Amino acid sequence: MRGYRSVRARSPHHLAGWCAILAVSAALSACSEDAITPFQPGPGAQPAVYSTVAAGGAHTCGISDRGNFCWGDGGVGQLGTGLLDDRHIPTQIAGGRTLASLSGGTLHTCAVATGGEAFCWGEGDGGRLGNGLTQDWVTPSLVSETLRFTRVSAGDTHTCGIATTGETYCWGDGSNGRLGIGNELGRANPAQVLGGFTFDQISAGKAHTCAVTDAGVAYCWGEGDDGRLGTGNPIDQLEPTAVSGGLTFTHVSAGTQHTCGVTEAGDVYCWGNGADGRLGTGSGLDRNEPAIVPGGLTFALVSAGEAHTCAVTTDGDAYCWGVGADGRLGTGNELDRLEPAIVTGHTSFVTVTVGAEHTCGVLQDGSALCWGVGADGRLGTGNEVNRLNAARVVSG
C-alpha cells in the first residue's frame, strides 16, 4: 500500500502518558517503548492464526481463522466495523463474509470475497469505493453487481482490480492518469484500463498504478514524477506503459513516490524517489529506471510504502530499508537504512505489508506482527506505543 498522504493523529495517548501511568509501580527510568507490555487476551485465549494482513495509512486489516479484522484509525469508516471509532485490538469487520484477500489504502480498505465479489469501505471521496457514489461507508459496500474479481488494490484516492474475465478496472480519482483509462477523469464505478493486457497482479500507489502481465512484463501509469513509473523519464502516462529494462517480474508494489518489484530470479529492483534510501540501492538518488537492490539476497516478495520498503527472502527473513523513524524498519532502532537491514527477532516470515509509517507481517505459524508508529492503535497491540521491534498483534 499502499502510499499515502498524511493521516491525522487524533489520540492523546502518547508514550509520555504511558510512562506516567507505569511510574506508579516502577521507576520512570525503566519506561521505554518496547518495555511496555501490550494488552493481552484473557486467560486461556489462544492467538488467532492469520493468513494475511494488509497495512493502510494508519490502520491494518487481516484475515484469520476467527474471521476478518481491522484495527487502528477508524475515523472515516476504514475499519469496516460500522462505527467511526479507533480500535487498539483487532475488531471484526461487519458482514460476516468469507474474504480471500484484503488491501489497505490511505483512508479506505477493499477486499475480495471467496465468490469474487469486491467490497470497499471508508472514505468515498472521488468514487474510490467503486459503488457509484462518493460517500463514506462504515461497512463493506459492493463494488459491482456484475463484475467478479481475483484481486483488488487500494491506493490513496483510487482503487484498481483484476476481473475474473481477465480485464483490469480502476476507479476513483483520475488525476495524472492513475486509472489508466486514457484521460484524467474520475470514475465512481469501475472503468476498464486501456491496452487489452492480461494482468496477473496489480498495485495502486498514491498517484500511480503498476501491474504485471501473465508473461512477467511490468507496466505503470499515472503520475511520473521522480521516475516512479520506471519508464526512463518523469512524464505522466494516461495508460499502461512498459517499465524499462526488459526484466521479468513476479510482482510489483507501488508506494507513494516509488515502486519496487521482484524478478523471477528473486532480485528486487526499485525506481522513483530515492530520498532517505527508500529504493535500497545504497544511495538517496532518484531512479527513472529499475535499479537493483544490492546484497545478494533472494527475495520472494516486496512491499513499498511512503518512505520505506520491506521485503521477505525465500528463507523467511524480513528486510527493510529507507526511513527508520519510530521503528518502522523493525531493526530495533530509528536509523535510516540505504540498503536492506534485517528485521530482528523473527526468521520465519511469509509476508510483510508496509503502511505509511508502520509495517506488519505474518509468520509461518500464523502469528501477526506489527512495528513502527503505534498512534490510533494501528499496530494492534492494545495501545498506541511505537515499537522498534516486531510486536505481536493481540487476538481479536
Whether 175 and 142 have beta carbons less than 8 Å apart is answered as no
Average pLDDT over residues 165-185: 98
Distance CA 166, CA 147 (A): 11
List all residues 6 or more positions away from 262 whose beta carbon is below 8 Å from its beta carbon: 249, 250, 251, 252, 268, 299, 300, 301, 302, 311
Q: What is the pLDDT of residues 340-372, one digit of tens each?
A: 999 999 999 999 999 999 999 999 999 999 999
Helix (H, G, I), strand (E, B) or coil at 293: coil
Distance CA 333, CA 5 (A): 25
Distance CA 7, CA 373 (A): 12
Q: What is the mean pLDDT of the chain?
A: 90
Distance CA 326, CA 381 (A): 15
The pLDDT of residue 396: 63
Percent of the chain beyond pLDDT 90?
87
Q: What is the pLDDT of residues 102-127, one digit of tens each?
A: 999 999 999 999 999 999 999 999 99
- Given a cut of 50, whether residue 40 has pLDDT beyond it is no
- Report the 10 Å Cβ neighbour count for 8: 12
The pLDDT of residue 54: 98
pLDDT classification of 46: cutoffs 50, 70, 90: confident
Distance CA 225, CA 121 (A): 29
The pLDDT of residue 45: 61
List all residues 6 or more positions away from 396 whose beta carbon is below 8 Å from its beta carbon: 48, 64, 66, 67, 69, 89, 90, 91, 92
| DSSP letter (8 states) at residue 39 | P
Distance CA 156, CA 357 (A): 14
φ and ψ of 29, to 5 deg? -65, -20
